[in-house]
Amino acid sequence: MKNIFVGNLSFGVTEASVRSLFEAHGTVDRVNICTDRDSGQPRGFGFVEMANDGEAEKAIAAVNGRELDGRALNVNEARPKTDRPSGGGGGGGRKRW
């Protein structure tokens, strides 16, 4: 199973149009276009899952840089999500001695 990142998607793109672009190169198991959790608006990227690694590699090579809805796609193998450190920044405020 190979998970493929698809970036620079137009906000009007559909799962069906992404699926058909990748199905020309092999069997697509799943298409997920990411949306904003609050507004529900598309975020301009998504993921395609393909079971066959060879077909997935061919699809990445063929689709990367191709235009869909007037935008050149950025396509590569998805990297696993990394753990982000919790907490972080802050600061500000005045110190009182």
Contact 16, 22 (CB under 8 A): no
CATH of the domain at 19: 3.30.70.330
Whether 31 is covered by a domain: the verdict is yes
Whether 20 is covered by a domain: the verdict is yes
Whose CA is closest to 49, among 17, 67, 22? 22
Say yes or no to pLDDT of 92 above 80.
no
Whether 50 is covered by a domain: the verdict is yes
The tens digit of pLDDT for each residue in 14-69 reads 999 999 999 999 999 999 999 999 999 999 999 999 999 999 999 999 999 999 99
φ/ψ (deg, to 5) at 57: -60, -40
Counted domains in the chain: 1
Please give the pLDDT value at position 53. Answer: 96
Task: Give me the domain span that covers residue 45.
Answer: 2-77
